[in-house]
Structure 1
Amino acid sequence: MAQYMTLVDAKTLPFWRRPVALLFLMALAMPIAFNTWSALLNNFVIEVADFDGSDIGLLHTVREIPGFLAVGVIAIIVFVREQVLGLVSLILLGVATAVTAWFPSMGGILTITMLSSIGFHYYETVNQSLQLQWLKIEDAPRMLGWLMAAGSLATLIAYLAIMGLWETLNLTYNIVYLIGGGITVLIAIVAMLAYPQFEAPTVQIKKMVLRRRYWLYYALQFMSGARRQIFVVFAGFMMVERFGFEVHEITTLYLINLIANMIFAPLMGRAVGYFGERKALGFEYVGLILVFLSYGGVYYLGWGVVVAATLYVLDHMFFALALALKTYFQKIADPADIAPTAAVAFTINHIAAVFLPVGLGLLWLISPALVFVLAAAMAAISLMLAMLLPRHPEPGHETIFSRPLAQAAE
């Protein structure tokens, strides 16, 4: 990757070597390791380390600490290019995933989870920044939808292998983790060797940026992070703990999610472009309120496994609309703010993630349904914040309380 190339000059390259192609390759690489880890996690920690709800909450708190410290990316990109940092982070994620089963104790699982999480969160921070720098505003919603679909396709292949071969070949956690993590490492190394370093049109600010006019974006990021923890930590855990899902069964549920994502993510990207971020986020949050309240019904009213599994799929689909939050920021941002604000936003997104899983893990021991009721309340707050987005956001018109630049100049 010694060659440097502007985005304009990159148009002369073969399509497979252009910036968008690299974004797709990274979108394929990351989910293979991360979702292999996720698919096996609940069964692995329950069977190997005898985790309960409190333990799984602690694990996810540890996992989210690097996300809270994602602002550290700003210091690193002073010395390392974002593209390089993103690929190195992918390698760390892949290696840590590959050796997960080598550390079956509580301390070992927490340590290796911390390392894989550093790779995951630093990659995601840089990846979001590169997406918003490399994609045109008018193309971003559609392309972000296709990038999500590409990640789902890569994960689909991994899950099909787990589902079809887990019992047939009597696979072990060690074998699956080694293969999943190893593929991600291989793809990242290929990307390092095959692509030049692309120069974005605007030089990024390499210090922390906090701007008052981004306050609504920060608030939505905070609520998104708090709300997401309940789905990531407890929705899948519920399927294993309450309904006794085994590895191949929980993988089947993930498989359904992936197929739905492959079909609907591009459509959601187009919907965001057509209807705008305000309506898209509003639809997402209304849907999540209903889903989380229905999760509570699984416990209070004794609804069965089919209802719970259906809610899980709907939950996952609604979260796909979160791409609207990225395009909202792209529209209101100073182009030089994208990299530092991506790091700040990830830290804000993970503030609640550091303490919420442990606290909710203890609440889970008292009443799992209350955890989901709390999530519904968080989604309701997000809905109220989303209603403050203007129909056509732009610099100077970030919320309904600010006026478009054209009107302000009159």
Structure 2
Amino acid sequence: MVTISKEVRKDPMYLFLLMLVISAAVSFQGWRTLYSNFAVDVIGINGFQNGIVQAVREIPGFLSFAVVFLLLFLKENQIGYLSVLLLALGVMITGFFPSFTGLIVTTFIMSVGFHYYETVNQSLTLQSFNLKTAPLVLAKLRSIMSIANVLIGAAIIGLAYILPLKWIYVVLGGSVLILVVYTIFKFPAREPEIKQHKRIILKKRYWLFYLLNFLSGARRQIFVVFALFMLVEKYHFSVQQIALLYAVNNLITWQLNPYIGKWINKFGERKVLSMEYMSLIFVFIGYAFIEEPIIVALLYIVDHIFFGFSIGIKTFFQKTADPKDIAPSMATGFTINHIMAVFMPVVGGALWIWNWRLPFLVGSGIAVTSLIFAQYIRVPEEQE
């Protein structure tokens, strides 16, 4: 197992980020595991309505640039824990509004917390650790998130036998509220040393970072929205089966993710991201044309494994950017990532009604485009 140094593991910033990662994982993974069954079995939404809900879920991500303005009043670590508190609250109240409109409203609340947390989490990590340590920390935190996801999946499998979905949401959200309050008092985080620009940053020299984020947002929606929805609607996976699938996914990535940071340091971002995009071309084609549930579930696991490789986009930016640009650029990058994410669920939902294979064929085209542009990645180490 690849590990980070003892000094880093004792760093208050690392401990703070660790606790927020666990809190966010419990909230968001719990919500995501229950979502399709709650939406289909309890509310009864169709593919197009699912696309609308998912598009609404991505609107806060599109508005992530507003983090720059929050920095005028709050520190980044404060934005981090306040965002996770909002995320937990949105999850906790979801079950009390079992309607299409209610699902949209609670999803939006949950999503504001999740996306603003993600923005400052990435920013704080890149600011707080050096070029060699940051990939390892990002990968390690993803690994810890994976094991937290496994435990949440196991908890949901058990809770589903004794509680209705409404009260499982309450248990998950309420637990995280308590955990975040504990984190605030137990693990106060330091402020990064380099003062960040408190305005929106858009620079021509960051064009590849922006473009890869844009394409990543579209790719992510195929996985998050349509692959999981397909398993429930087309192959009738139950809550327990979805939770078990997530558990398998996360057990694998728990062991694998720490190596991603090592591979980035050894092979570079271009090769690691190229491997991801090349594999996704075949995964999405498989979703479209293979109709054996077990094989499709295996493709979903492969898809999830390569999700972790996207940290290469962030470390590529860290190695080529002005350090003062990191916080505002992470917010800008997150917003650009969600431009496509807002529209893809609606467009994909309409395509789904026409032919369920079409969203996955579009995803394969996006993977091809990403692979082409990944070849333009250059970092200082590679140029020497």
Matched to 2:104, the amino acid is L
Which residue is 1:257 aligned to? 249
Deviations 1:344-396 (A, max 9, x none): 00110000111111111010011111110110000100000100012x347xx
Q: How far off is 1:26 after superposition?
A: 1.1
How far apart are the structure 2 equivalents of 1:64 and 1:290?
Answer: 26
Matched, 1:107 2:101: yes
Which residue is 1:351 aligned to? 339
Q: How far off is 1:340 after superposition?
A: 0.3
Q: In 2 relative to 1, CA 14–60 (structure 1 residues): closer, same or farther, beyond 3 Å?
A: closer
How far apart are the structure 2 equivalents of 1:17 and 1:192?
Answer: 15
Equivalent residues in 2 for 1:217-228, closer than 5 Å = 217-228=209-220
Q: How far off is 1:16 after superposition?
A: 5.2
Kept in 1: contact 2:15–2:187 (CA 8 A): no
Matched, 1:35 2:23: no
Matched, 1:204 2:190: no
Equivalent residues in 2 for 1:249-398, closer than 5 Å = 249-298=241-290, 303-390=291-378, 392-393=379-380
Equivalent residues in 2 for 1:158-237, closer than 5 Å = 158-167=152-161, 169=162, 171-237=163-229
SS of equivalent to 2:190:
strand
How far apart are the structure 2 equivalents of 1:14 and 1:268?
Answer: 18
Q: How far off is 1:164 after superposition?
A: 3.1
Q: In 2 relative to 1, CA 338–14 (structure 1 residues): closer, same or farther, beyond 3 Å?
A: closer
How far apart are the structure 2 equivalents of 1:16 and 1:144?
Answer: 16
Which residue is 1:55 aligned to? 49
Identity %: 40
Higher percent of residues as helix:
2
SS of equivalent to 2:249:
helix
How far apart are the structure 2 equivalents of 1:219 and 1:313?
Answer: 26
Matched to 2:152, the amino acid is A
Kept in 2: contact 1:291–1:311 (CA 8 A): yes
Match of 2:20 among 9, 26, 29: 26
Matched to 1:385, the amino acid is F
How far apart are the structure 2 equivalents of 1:270 and 1:206?
Answer: 32
Matched to 2:199, the amino acid is K
TM-score using structure 1 length = 0.90
How far apart are the structure 1 equivalents of 2:238 and 2:8?
Answer: 45
Q: How far off is 1:184 after superposition?
A: 1.8
Which residue is 2:3 aligned to? none
Q: How far off is 1:14 after superposition?
A: 11
Structure 1 residues without counterparts, runs of 5 or longer: 1-12, 398-403
Q: In 2 relative to 1, CA 15–328 (structure 1 residues): closer, same or farther, beyond 3 Å?
A: closer
Q: How far off is 1:17 after superposition?
A: 6.4
Q: How far off is 1:305 after superposition?
A: 0.7
Deviations 1:156-209 (A, max 9, x none): 111111123422x2x211221111112221221112112334121210000011
Deviations 1:33-69 (A, max 9, x none): 0010000100001112111100100000000001001
Match of 1:123 among 113, 117, 120: 117
Q: In 2 relative to 1, CA 216–393 (structure 1 residues): closer, same or farther, beyond 3 Å?
A: farther
Q: In 2 relative to 1, CA 16–194 (structure 1 residues): closer, same or farther, beyond 3 Å?
A: farther
Deviations 1:106-142 (A, max 9, x none): 1111011111110000100111100101111111112
Deviations 1:241-267 (A, max 9, x none): 111111001111111111011011111
In angstroms, what is the RMSD of aligned CA positions?
Answer: 1.7
Q: In 2 relative to 1, CA 222–14 (structure 1 residues): closer, same or farther, beyond 3 Å?
A: closer
How far apart are the structure 2 equivalents of 1:90 and 1:251?
Answer: 22
SS of equivalent to 1:199:
coil
How far apart are the structure 2 equivalents of 1:353 and 1:199?
Answer: 31
Q: In 2 relative to 1, CA 26–69 (structure 1 residues): closer, same or farther, beyond 3 Å?
A: same
Kept in 2: contact 1:58–1:358 (CA 8 A): yes
Matched to 2:296, the amino acid is A
Deviations 1:67-96 (A, max 9, x none): 001101101111100100110000000011
Which residue is 1:135 aligned to? 129
Which residue is 1:76 aligned to? 70
Kept in 2: contact 1:17–1:194 (CA 8 A): no
How far apart are the structure 2 equivalents of 1:183 and 1:194?
Answer: 16
Kept in 1: contact 2:119–2:331 (CA 8 A): yes
Q: How many residues align?
A: 379
How far apart are the structure 2 equivalents of 1:137 and 1:268?
Answer: 14
SS of equivalent to 2:132:
coil
Q: In 2 relative to 1, CA 148–14 (structure 1 residues): closer, same or farther, beyond 3 Å?
A: closer
Structure 2 residues without counterparts, runs of 5 or longer: 1-6
